[in-house]
């Protein structure tokens, strides 16, 4: 497994703690390295300044007449060593040298020869003593008076690099120790922060696992605050509430559908059993009674088919696209629905004032909605009564002159399977107005049922759908389905 795969396999809190520790380690390492190099540079600059400031010329003037030229430091109690803590040496252009001060001697380098010969200026460089100890050397040209006369030499002053290497080594160990403690502390702090910060996520995970295990949608997560975790918790609570509401509506729909289906099925079963018993026993049912039974069976079959169709329509999700978005002629749809209503209520008087209006929607669904509204008007209108239909500026109004709906029942008329107590004896499933409201909302409009605006008996159904009195540019209107063109 690759390092990246192993890293991804770690728990989230471990990854966060590791990332924090790595980030702190990089930052501490960068700071420690920078600090070490700055101290090293400062110490070397101080050493170079000390070498430049050493008054070695006085040593040359004092020592040469006394000791002459020695090749190495003298030994014994009579040796001459000053308190400079440095090696002072005269180097000549021919490679010979003369020891002046210090515990060791320096090898004569090419740099010293060039300085002694006058071809190079004073120079600072790293070197080693004759015993191999690292030193920092400052070599400068000098003119000295000897028995042979004035002579050019290279005067070299060297101090041990151990004077700065030891403090630097100690500083490196201190920085390494502090950095290690900082990285370990950062990792521990990162783990604590990750656990604290991910606690709401753990609660959310536990809630999701509990719901997946028990299907208990009543679980809620605390959502205090305004941070991202609180927003996630509120979104989760909203989701579970919506799921619970959807499940409740589904259960209610199944219960209501079962209740509505039971009545026609029971009646249908009773009629079929009567017909079957007549055939089994050989007792003929009177022709008039037989015709009534068959008519009842046909009506119950029609009611079942209508109820199943309504249930199929309501089973479609609200967000599901009903079909291609089309511009349809609402006035033609209303005219077609009105023609069907006249066939269902030949004893009624229909008055219409339908003006052109074009909307975006699904022609079949809109026509079904208008038919449902007109069916209600026909159902509740007395014999010889009037039904008034008007379509003006996108507002379709259907007015009947029936008994009307009590004000306290109006808020419930668009609920699924709801039926007024006074209308339970009439045919119907209680789904028609629910389908009307659903279809109109899909088209971007609103549906309303209210008492007659003129104060008379009856009810007004008002459908408001946005649109325009003229069709947009496109294919010509097809009178068969009211569709102007697809957009």
In the chain, the N- to C-terminal Cα span, in Å, equals 54
Q: Is the pTM of this model over 0.85?
A: no
- If you ran DSSP here, which 8-state letter would residue 5 be given? H
Last residue in a domain, options 315, 346, 380: 315
223 lies in some domain: no
Q: Are residues 413 and 479 in the same domain?
A: yes
Residuewise pLDDT in 10s, the chain (487 residues): 677 777 677 777 777 778 878 888 888 889 889 999 999 999 989 888 888 887 655 555 555 544 456 566 655 444 445 556 788 888 888 888 887 777 888 898 999 899 888 888 989 999 998 888 899 999 988 887 666 667 788 888 898 988 888 888 998 999 889 888 888 888 888 778 777 777 777 777 787 888 888 878 887 777 777 777 778 888 888 888 888 887 877 776 677 667 667 767 887 888 888 888 888 887 888 888 888 888 878 877 876 776 676 666 666 655 444 455 688 999 999 998 898 888 877 888 899 999 999 998 888 888 888 988 888 888 888 888 889 999 998 899 999 888 877 777 777 677 765 555 555 445 555 677 877 888 888 888 999 888 887 778 888 889 999 999 888 775 544 444 555 544 3
What gap in Å lies between CA 362 and CA 439, rounded to an integer?
Answer: 9
pLDDT for the residue 332: 92
Pairing of strands 349-354, 386-392: parallel
Query: What is the spatial distance between Cα 110 and Cα 106, in angstroms, rounded to a whole number?
Result: 12
Same domain, 335 and 476: yes
In a domain, 360, yes or no: yes
The strand pair at 134-146 and 326-329 is best described as unpaired
**Residues 6 or more apart whose Cβ sits within 8 Å of residue 396:** 330, 334, 370, 373, 389, 390, 462, 463, 464, 465
Regarding whether 337 and 309 lie in a shared domain, the answer is no
Assess if residue 14 is contained within a domain.
Answer: no
**CA distance linking residue 132 with residue 176, whole number of Å:** 29
Contacts by 291-299, CB closer than 8 A, 24 or more apart: 296/267, 296/271, 297/268, 297/271, 297/272, 299/427
Residue range(s) defining the domain that contains residue 129: 68-74+81-161
- Last residue within a domain, chosen from 281, 315, 349: 315
Q: What is the DSSP string of 321-373?
A: --SS-EEEEHHHHHHHHHHHHHHH-TTSEEEEEE---EEEE-HHHHHHHHHHH
CB atoms within 10 A of CB 130: 11
Report yes or no on 45 lying in a domain: no
* Residue 473, phi-psi category: left (phi > 0), alpha (psi -120 to 50), beta (remainder): beta
Examine the domain organization and report whether 292 and 234 are in the same domain. yes
Report the interhelical angle of 228-281 vs 287-315 (nearest 10°). Answer: 160
Q: Are residues 366 and 476 in the same domain?
A: yes
- State whether 351 and 463 are in the same domain: yes
Question: CA–CA separation, 238 vs 223, rounded Å?
Answer: 11
Q: How far is CA 205 from CA 7, 10, 29, 459, in A?
A: 21, 17, 37, 53
Dist. CA 144–CA 146, nearest whole Å: 6
Residues 338 and 407 in one domain: yes
Q: Is the residue at 59 inside a domain?
A: no
Q: Are 340 and 274 members of one domain?
A: no
Task: Specify if 63 maps to a domain.
Answer: no
Domain shared by 296 and 440, yes or no: no
Q: Is residue 465 part of a domain?
A: yes
Domain of 307, CATH number, reads 1.10.287.130
We report the CATH number of the domain holding residue 136 as 3.30.450
Q: Does one domain contain both 442 and 389?
A: yes
CATH number at residue 457: 3.30.565.10
* Same domain assignment for residues 452 and 333: yes
Domain shared by 344 and 292, yes or no? no
**Total structural domains in the chain?**
3
Give residues with Cβ within 8 angstroms of 400, minimum separation 6. 376, 377, 378, 380, 381, 385, 386, 387, 458, 459
**Domain C-terminal end among 105, 139, 161:** 161
Find all residues with CB under 8 Å of 352, minimum gap 6, and list them.
Answer: 335, 338, 388, 389, 390
277 assigned to some structural domain: yes
Distance CA 91, CA 101 (A): 13
**Per-residue pLDDT tens digits for 329-369:** 999 999 988 988 888 778 888 999 999 999 988 888 888 88
């Amino acid at each position: 497994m690759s390092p990246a795969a192993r890293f991804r396999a770690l728990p989230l809190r471990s990854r966060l703690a590791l990332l924090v520790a790595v980030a702190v380690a990089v930052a501490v390492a960068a700071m420690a390295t920078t600090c070490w190099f700055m101290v090293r540079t400062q110490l070397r600059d101080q050493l170079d300044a000390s070498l430049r400031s050493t008054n070695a010329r006085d040593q040359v003037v004092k020592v040469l007449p006394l000791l002459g030229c020695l090749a190495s430091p003298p030994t014994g109690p009579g040796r001459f060593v000053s308190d400079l803590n440095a090696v002072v040496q005269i180097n000549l252009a021919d490679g010979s040298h003369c020891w002046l001060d210090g515990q060791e001697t320096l090898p004569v380098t090419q740099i010293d020869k060039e300085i002694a010969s006058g071809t190079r200026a004073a120079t600072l460089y790293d070197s080693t003593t004759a015993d191999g100890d690292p030193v920092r050397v400052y070599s400068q040209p000098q003119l000295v008076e000897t028995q042979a006369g004035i002579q050019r030499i290279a005067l070299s002053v060297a101090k041990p690099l151990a004077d700065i290497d030891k403090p630097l080594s100690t500083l490196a160990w201190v920085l390494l120790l502090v950095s290690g403690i900082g990285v370990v502390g950062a990792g521990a702090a990162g783990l604590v922060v990750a656990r604290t910060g991910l606690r709401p996520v753990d609660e959310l995970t536990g809630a999701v696992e509990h719901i997946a295990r028990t299907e208990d949608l009543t679980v809620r997560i605390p959502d205090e605050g305004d941070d991202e975790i609180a927003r996630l918790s509120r979104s989760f609570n909203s989701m579970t509430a919506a799921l619970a509401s959807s499940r409740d509506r589904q259960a209610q729909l199944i219960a209501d559908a079962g209740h509505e289906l039971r009545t026609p099925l029971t009646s249908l079963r009773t009629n079929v059993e009567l017909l079957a018993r007549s055939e089994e026993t050989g007792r003929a049912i009177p022709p008039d009674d037989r015709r009534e039974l068959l008519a009842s069976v046909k009506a119950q079959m029609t009611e079942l088919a209508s109820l199943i169709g309504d249930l199929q329509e309501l089973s479609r999700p609200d967000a599901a696209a009903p079909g291609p978005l089309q511009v349809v002629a609402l006035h033609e749809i209303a005219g077609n629905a009105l023609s069907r209503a006249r066939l269902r209520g030949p004893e009624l008087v229909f008055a219409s004032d339908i003006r052109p209006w074009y909307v975006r929607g699904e022609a079949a669904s809109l026509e079904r909605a208008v038919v449902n509204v007109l069916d209600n008007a026909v159902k509740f209108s007395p014999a010889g009564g009037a039904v008034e239909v008007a379509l003006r500026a996108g507002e379709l109004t259907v007015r009947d002159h029936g008994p009307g709906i009590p004000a306290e029942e109006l808020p419930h008329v668009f609920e699924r399977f709801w039926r007024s107590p006074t209308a339970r004896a009439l045919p119907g499933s209680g789904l028609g107005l629910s389908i009307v409201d659903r279809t109109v909302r899909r088209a971007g409009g609103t549906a309303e049922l209210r008492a007659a605006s003129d104060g008379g008996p009856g009810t007004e159904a008002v459908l408001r759908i946005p649109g325009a009195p003229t069709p947009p540019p496109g294919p010509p209107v097809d009178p068969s389905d009211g569709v102007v063109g697809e957009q």
